[in-house]
Structure 1
Amino acid sequence: MLSPSTKAACWLTTFLSVFVTGELPIQSEAEPEFLQALENHTVTQGRDVHFTCVVNHLSNYRVAWIKSDSKAILAIHTNMVALNPRLSVTYNNHNTWKLHVSNVQANDSGTYMCQVNTDPMKSQMGHLSVVIPPDIIDTVTEGSSAREGGSVRLTCSATGVPPPTVMWRREHSKPIVFRHDGGRERKVVETFRGESLELGHVQRTDMGAYYCIASNGVPPTVSRRYHVQVHFIPQVKVTNQLVGAPLGSDVELQCYIEASPKAMNSWYREDSLVSDKLLENPKFRIAETAMNEYSLWMNLTIKSLAPADYGTYVCASVNALGKMESQVSLHRLELSMNGYAEEPMVSGAAQRTRSRPAASHAHYVPPPQMFAILLTLRYVHTY
C-alpha cells in the first residue's frame, strides 16, 4: 500500500507531466523498468554531484525527481520545477536521466527519488550525505598567562560534519604536564583530547606554544596555535663568584638568567663611584645567547686587563615582578717562577640571590706569549 503522501506526489507528478507535455501517459505492452539502482553519495561541501537514473521501456511515461524528505518535486523530464539554480537535469535521449547538484551545501543532504508516473508509481531512492571539513571557532583570546604556581586554561571549539575531535599537542613534541595540588607531577602525556586544556600549578617549563588540532576524517585537518606565558621574578646565577686573571689578559665573566616577562639585563661595577651599566666599547664586550624563551647567558668580556679593572662586577636582571642580581669578584694573578700566585681576593664578593652556589675559582689559562716569557725566565735562572 502506498502512503497518502506518496499517492499525492504520484498524482501531482502525473498532472505536471500532462501540463508540461500536453499528453497523457499511454501504457505499452512492456512496463517501464529500472536498469540499475540509484546510487548513494557522500560529498564534501562545495563539490558537485549527480544521481543517475536509467529506465527502459518508458514509452509516454515521464521521469520525475523528488526530494523524498520534503516531498518537493524537483524536475519532470528535463524541465525544472524547483527554483534552485544549483539543480539541473540532463537526458541522453535514450534511457538515462541525471540530476546534477552543484556546489553542494549542508541542506542538500537527504534522500532523492527517481520516479516514473505509472500506476502504481515506480521509484527508486538514493541518499546524499554532505560532509564538512573541520573549522576552529575562537571562543577566547589566543594565548594565556599566569604567575608561576597558578593555572592556565585553553579552550578550542570546532565545527564540522561529522563532529570533529579536538586534540592538544605542544610545539616540538614537548610533554604536556598535569600536576597535583602540591605541584608534583601527576601525569605526563604527548597529546590530550578534549576542547579544554587546563594546566594547574604551572612552571616555567610549561611555557611555549600549544596547538589545538581538529579532525573529522574530512580533509583538511586544521590547527590553531595558542601561546602560554608563565611569569616569575628573575633568577640570576654566575658560574664563578671568584675569578682571577693577570694584567694584560682578556677575561670572560659568565652569567645565567631566567626571567618572564622579558627583563632588562645589565652588567655594572659595584665599587665604582657611579654604578651605571657597562656599555659596549673597546674595553667591554657584552654578549647575550638565548637558550629558550625565558633563559639566556649574558657574558661580559674585559679586554687587556688594567689595574683599575679589578673589583666586583654585578650581573643584574629586572622585570615587572622584581629584580635579582649576582656578583663576581675579579682579582689579579701575579706571575712567579713556579706559576701564578694569587693576590688576596677583593672584598664584597657575596652573591645577592636567593640561592647561593658554592664559591669556585676559575683557573686562568695564559696566552702563548706568557708561556714564552715564563720559559725564558726559568732558563736565565738555571744558568
Structure 2
Amino acid sequence: MLSPSTKAACWLMTFLSVFVTGEMPIQAEVEPEFLQALENHTVTQGRDVHFTCVVNHLSHYRVAWIKSDSKAILAIHTNMVALNPRLSVTYNNHNTWKLHVSNVQANDSGTYMCQVNTDPMKSQMGHLSVVIPPDIVDSVTEGSSAREGGIIRLICSAIGVPPPTVLWRRENNRPIVFRHDGGREKKVEDSHKGESLELSHVQRTDMGAYYCIASNGVPPTVSRRYHVQVHFIPQVKVTNQLVGAPLGSDVELQCYIEASPKAMNSWYREDSLVSDKLLENPKFRIMEAAVNEYSLWMNLTIKSLAPGDFGTYVCASVNALGKMESQVSLHKLQLSMNGYADEPMVSGAAWQRARNLPAMRPAASHAHQYLKHLPPQLYALLLTTIRYIHTF
C-alpha cells in the first residue's frame, strides 16, 4: 500500500506530464494481491462453514475455488462447477469471495484453495477438519450372563473423529472386581479403559448395570447400558429356627432368600396333610421386601394364634437351577393360672429337640427363681430363650 505522501507525489507527476505533453502517461498494470490469509476451520459434522478470500486489484482476472487433495474445480468467480448442492459462492462486488459449505460431512475434510489465474497463478490454501461426535455401534455381546464362577465378556465398539476413548463404569459408582487365580486373587477398579470388559470367576455381587462410555472431546459423550446377571441355586435362611408365642398373639416368621434367575418363593406347613403354599388371607400375611437384585426378605405373619397354628413352617425357593428350603418350628408358650409360664408346649421337630433339653445348672436354677418376679409374658419369653440356648 502507498503512503499518502507517495500518492500525492504520483498525482503531481501525472498532472505535470499531462500539462507538458497533453497525453496521459501509460501506467504499469498492478498485479492482484491477497489481503488476508485463507483461514483453517475445525467444524462438527452437520454444521455450516465458509472460507473467505479477499483479493485486491483483480482487474480482468478471475477467482477460482479448488479442492486441493482431489484437484477438483469447485467454482470460477460465482459460477459453480461442482455438482454439489451443499457448496455455493458469494461475492460482495468489490474484493471478497466466500466459499460456503453447508451441512458439513466427513468427506468435506481437506485443503481448499483460492486461486487467481495470473501467470504464474497466485493462490492461498486453508484446511477444513471435520470432527464427528462419538457413537456406539451395535455389536454382539458374547455373554452378559453366566453361572456363578463363570466368565462374562462385554464388548462395546465406538466410532467418531477423532477415534473415541471407551471407559467402563458400574451403576452407582460401585467397584468393578477382576478375579484371577481361581478367584483367590482380585483387583478392584473404579473404572476400566478399553472396548472389552472381561469378568472371570464371577460372583453374585458382580450383578447389576455396567455402562460403556465413549468420548473424543466432541460433545456429546455417549453411553450404553449393559446388564450383567449371575445365576445360582437359591439360598434360604430363616432368622430363628425355633419361635415361641402364646395363644391369641401375632407372630412373624422371617426368611432371607438369595436367588438368580428369579425364583418362586413360598411358605407352607411341613406337618400339614396337604403341603400347599400358604396364601394371603385374614389368618396369614406374606410380605416380600427386596434387598437388591437377587435377594429379599419374605416374612410370614400369623395372626391370633390358635392351637392348630403351631408346628413346622417351611420357607422355600425354587428357580431353574434348583430348590432350597429352611424350617421354623413354632411352639406354644403356655401360661399358668397364676400368670407364670409353665413348660412350653412344643410340637413338630421342636418337640423332639425339647425332649433332650439338659437339666438346668445351679446358676440357671437361681436365675429361674429370680425371673419369676418378672411380668408373665417377659418371663415366658426369657425362659424359652434360656432353654433353647442349653440345647447347644
Gapped runs of 5+ residues in structure 1? Answer: none
Larger RCO, structures 1/2 (Cα 8 Å, 6+ apart): 1
The answer to whether the Cα contact below 8 Å between 1:26 and 1:59 also exists between their aligned partners in 2 is no
The answer to whether the Cα contact below 8 Å between 1:337 and 1:374 also exists between their aligned partners in 2 is no
Task: State percent identity of aligned pairs.
Answer: 90
Q: Distance in 2 between matches of 1:170 and 1:352?
A: 48
1:382 and 1:276, CA in 2 relative to 1: closer, same or farther beyond 3 A? closer
2:353 is matched with 352
Q: Deviations over 1:303-330 (max 9, x none)?
A: 0000110110000000000000000011
Post-superposition shift, 1:373?
Answer: 16
Query: More displaced, 4-13 or 257-266?
Result: 4-13
1:266 and 1:37, CA in 2 relative to 1: closer, same or farther beyond 3 A? same
SS in 2 for 1:275: coil
1:352 and 1:336, CA in 2 relative to 1: closer, same or farther beyond 3 A? closer
1:181 and 1:377, CA in 2 relative to 1: closer, same or farther beyond 3 A? closer
1:283 and 1:230, CA in 2 relative to 1: closer, same or farther beyond 3 A? same
The answer to whether the Cα contact below 8 Å between 2:143 and 2:153 also exists between their aligned partners in 1 is no
1:353 and 1:15, CA in 2 relative to 1: closer, same or farther beyond 3 A? farther
The answer to whether the Cα contact below 8 Å between 2:340 and 2:380 also exists between their aligned partners in 1 is no
SS in 1 for 2:349: coil
The answer to whether the Cα contact below 8 Å between 1:212 and 1:223 also exists between their aligned partners in 2 is yes
Largest Rg, 1 or 2: 2
Gapped runs of 5+ residues in structure 2? Answer: 356-360, 369-374
1:66 and 1:361, CA in 2 relative to 1: closer, same or farther beyond 3 A? farther
Q: Deviations over 1:69-98 (max 9, x none)?
A: 111111011001111111000001111000
Post-superposition shift, 1:301?
Answer: 0.2
> 1:248-287 to 2 correspondence within 5 Å?
248-287=248-287
Q: Distance in 2 between matches of 1:301 and 1:59?
A: 100
Query: More displaced, 14-23 or 296-305?
Result: 14-23
Count of residues paired in the alignment = 379
Q: Distance in 1 between matches of 2:250 and 2:103?
A: 73
The answer to whether the Cα contact below 8 Å between 1:14 and 1:117 also exists between their aligned partners in 2 is no
Alignment TM-score, normalising by the size of structure 1: 0.83
Query: More displaced, 283-292 or 2-11?
Result: 2-11
1:196 and 1:60, CA in 2 relative to 1: closer, same or farther beyond 3 A? same
The answer to whether the Cα contact below 8 Å between 2:346 and 2:354 also exists between their aligned partners in 1 is no
Post-superposition shift, 1:270?
Answer: 0.3
1:379 and 1:102, CA in 2 relative to 1: closer, same or farther beyond 3 A? closer
Post-superposition shift, 1:183?
Answer: 1.2
The answer to whether the Cα contact below 8 Å between 2:35 and 2:55 also exists between their aligned partners in 1 is yes
2:24 is matched with 24
Post-superposition shift, 1:353?
Answer: 21
Q: Distance in 2 between matches of 1:146 and 1:49?
A: 51
1:5 and 1:129, CA in 2 relative to 1: closer, same or farther beyond 3 A? farther
Q: 1:373 aligns with which of 363, 372, 381?
A: 381
Query: More displaced, 157-166 or 138-147?
Result: 138-147
Q: Distance in 2 between matches of 1:50 and 1:318?
A: 68
1:75 and 1:378, CA in 2 relative to 1: closer, same or farther beyond 3 A? closer
RMSD: 10.7
1:288 and 1:372, CA in 2 relative to 1: closer, same or farther beyond 3 A? closer
> 1:3-42 to 2 correspondence within 5 Å?
29-42=29-42
Post-superposition shift, 1:31?
Answer: 1.4
> 1:155-234 to 2 correspondence within 5 Å?
155-234=155-234
1:11 and 1:255, CA in 2 relative to 1: closer, same or farther beyond 3 A? farther
The answer to whether the Cα contact below 8 Å between 1:177 and 1:185 also exists between their aligned partners in 2 is no
SS in 2 for 1:172: helix
Post-superposition shift, 1:229?
Answer: 0.6
1:381 and 1:143, CA in 2 relative to 1: closer, same or farther beyond 3 A? closer
1:379 and 1:318, CA in 2 relative to 1: closer, same or farther beyond 3 A? closer
1:342 and 1:309, CA in 2 relative to 1: closer, same or farther beyond 3 A? farther
The answer to whether the Cα contact below 8 Å between 2:44 and 2:131 also exists between their aligned partners in 1 is yes
1:12 and 1:240, CA in 2 relative to 1: closer, same or farther beyond 3 A? farther
Q: Distance in 1 between matches of 2:12 and 2:140?
A: 53
The answer to whether the Cα contact below 8 Å between 1:246 and 1:334 also exists between their aligned partners in 2 is yes
Alignment TM-score, normalising by the size of structure 2: 0.81
The answer to whether the Cα contact below 8 Å between 1:212 and 1:225 also exists between their aligned partners in 2 is yes
